[in-house]
Amino acid sequence: MDAQRQTKALLQLCKRLERAWTLPDILAAVAPVVEDVLGYSHAWLALIGDRPGFVSVISQVTSDSEYQHLQAVAQTMDIPIAGDRMLEEILAADHVVVVQDARTDPRTNKEVVAQLHNRTIINVPLLLADERLGVVGIGTFGDVEGVRPPSDWQLDFMQALAGHVAVALDRVRFMQARKQAEDALYHEKERLQVTLHSISDAVITTNADGELLYINPVAEVLTGWTLASAVGHPYGHVFCLADSPVPSPDLVADAIATAQTQRYPQLKLVQLQLGSLLVEAAVSPIRDAEGAVQGAVLVFRDVTEQRRLSQEMAFQATHDELTGLGNRRAFEATLALSFARTREQALTHVVCYLDLDDFKVVNDTCGHTAGDELLRQIAQLFQGVLGPDDHLCRLGGDEFGMVLTEQTLSQALRVAERLQQGLAAYRFVWQDQNFGVGVSIGMVLLDAHSESVGALLQAADSACYVAKDSGRGRIHVYATDDPALAQRYGVMEWVSRIENALRNDRFVLYAQPIVPIAQGPARGLHCEFLLRMRDAHGGLVLPGEFMPAVERYHLAARVDRWVVSHALGWMVRHQDQIEQCSINLSGQSLGDTVFMAFVLDALATTPMPCHKLCFEITETAAIGNLHAAKDFIDTLRKLGCKLSLDDFGSGLSSFAYLRNLPVDVLKIDGQFVRDIATDAVSQAMVKSIHEIGCLMGKETVAEFVETPAILDVLRGFGVHYAQGYSVGYPVPLDQLLQSPTPLH
């Protein structure tokens, strides 16, 4: 073919390649030229580097219908380079590489040749500025076309064609990369828009001058502005902060000036025609690829409810929910602050513990709702007496704490007296009942000589205990040389000894007979179990020494468990000789559900009739825990146990409560029995208790029967049983059944 025709063909190819936008477009431009000028009906284009270690055939065109099915096969083919000597030569060459017959040439991959039916293969590497882009190739297929090696002018034409294809390929790949970048940018923008529309935070973006560029839907809701109306405005018009004594910061300007994210934990945002709310905000500068600041993004969220809840939780953490007063934590914090002030200035304060008297009567009689209302009313009454600088807190239950600021003891005493006077004049009315309530107050001076906050708390608590223990409704001032406090601390020392006795089984059971006064047939043993403790030297300790500590430090339920366990064990072994044995229980154990479960379990697993067992509770404990006492009595009576009310007559309202306590036995308080032989009033009391008990179907037991004269008077009244030194002394259990107890 003459040179003019070749030049014209290449010029037409260049025009076609200028219109190529894709890789198949390039091959579509090349194939007609190859067929018209060179006479080959098959052309292909392959890329290097799309998949490392492979040559990827991305397009093949053939005008021979017999081989068109191979186009689809070739367009999905990645040919491995390793071991393919033809491909290795192409990748190293800068000229046309010819394989005259692919079937016999040792350089070809025979598996690929068999799949594509290649015969003659003419490949030209596509080189541009020392970059190897791919391969453009032509050739023959099958036996019909056979082997057709190219002539020299055809090789020269292919070399020239490859140069034009390389330029077109580079341009198409550049356009594809730009299109991919544009698509990625578009999709990223779409994702960003969707994200900004979906996130729960409000977002505003601005330019470097603070003009608003974008506002997402959440920000529209919080500010009251729409996107359309907000764009172009200074961001401060949209994100408008409330006036304050301190000028509001320019959030965007600060972020841009510092080139750092600025955080604002709480700002007051004014909504457009909607009011205001509290927001938490962060502003970050927006930089371009070179790092220059182009604007800012302001992210904020509504924290109004969160702040309200935080304030509510902070208030609840330091305040009593029932009364609104400060709680124990607030009291200790106030005390610590007052203590610190006395280190810096010559000031004195007074710390007070207040414990309501007879509060449990209201709680047990009318229920906890009434008790709660009583506490609220008393809190208001106390606050009305205190000054603006004084602090009143509820410490728990019916206990209160006060710090009387910058007052002396004499001033504090007058305040305490006014509190007691106000409470004395106050009557709590609930439904058809009304009650009077008192208060015991312990106080301690807080000055520069005070040791510590802990010591002050302990001193005030101890002083309050002494006030309550002295008869209630009292005021006691702490003093280091106070004998009453010394006794109190002595009680505290008993705690470790009691714990030791429980751990090492150092308690001992004694028993005292309870004897029928009227003559009758012989009966089995009737007695009351009594508790003793052995000290470190083996000596006996009477309950009067250790029981105050047991009650005060809430060890009673544990001690009662020990007594019940050991008493039942002894009764089982001697049940044939027993008529009835009584076990004393503390008032604390009455309302203890765990202790009740223990007793029920012990009775269920003890092989002994329940009617031989009587539980004694004091009148004071029963009245102080009325509902608990009634539940306790009802539960045990259903099992067949007897219940006895000890020290009956000691309370002012004994008979009033008797109707509500279904006990079997009344034990007449020994203070009346002891003087019955010489005192007419005591005789009248004992006689009336016995008669009312009989009317209600209850048996009576007289305590402290110490002389025959007392016994004679009791016999004359018809009292059923006697207990005391005149009829039998307390003895160890192992001696109890050894000899009969005479009735003098």
User: Which positions are catalytic?
Assistant: 398
What 3-state DSSP class applies to 442?
A: strand
According to DSSP, the residues that pair with 429 across neighbouring strands are 434
What 3-state DSSP class applies to 310?
A: helix
Q: Strand 240-241 and strand 78-80: pairing? A: unpaired
Q: How far is CA 626 from CA 363, 549, 560, 679, 699, in A?
A: 9, 23, 19, 32, 21
Residue 475 CB partners (closer than 8 Å, separation 6+): 413, 416, 417, 420, 440, 441, 442, 443, 467
Q: How many CB atoms lie within 10 A of CB 335?
A: 22
Is 704 in contact with 674 (CB distance < 8 Å)?
Answer: yes
What 3-state DSSP class applies to 296?
A: strand
Widest Cα–Cα separation across the chain: 161
- Reading the block at residue 253, the tokens are 């300007």
If phi > 0 it is left, if psi is from -120 to 50 it is alpha, else beta; for residue 396 that is left
DSSP 605-656: HS-S-GGGEEEEEEHHHHHHTHHHHHHHHHHHHHTT-EEEEEEET-STTHHH
Q: How many residues are there in the chain?
A: 744
Q: How many angstroms separate the CA atoms of 411 and 673, rounded?
A: 46
Residue with tokens 């698509």: 183
Residue with tokens 């200028």: 18
The vertex-465 CA angle with 327 and 343, nearest 5°, equals 60
What is the amino acid identity at position 694?
A: C
Residue 320 CB partners (closer than 8 Å, separation 6+): 326, 327, 393, 394
Nearest Cα neighbor of 318 from 309, 327, 307, 310 is 327
Q: How many angstroms separate the CA atoms of 225 and 615, rounded?
A: 78
What DSSP designation does 94 have? Answer: S
Nearest Cα neighbor of 734 from 538, 510, 541, 515 is 510
Is 90 in contact with 97 (CB distance < 8 Å)?
Answer: yes
What DSSP designation does 65 have? Answer: G
Nearest Cα neighbor of 641 from 603, 668, 595, 596 is 603
Alpha helices for 696-738 (secondary structure H): 708-717, 733-736
According to DSSP, the residues that pair with 269 across neighbouring strands are 241, 277
- Reading the block at residue 299, the tokens are 């992210």
The vertex-19 CA angle with 13 and 21, nearest 5°, equals 120
Distance separating the N- and C-terminal Cα atoms of the chain: 158
Name the helix (H) or strand (E) containing 56: strand 54-62
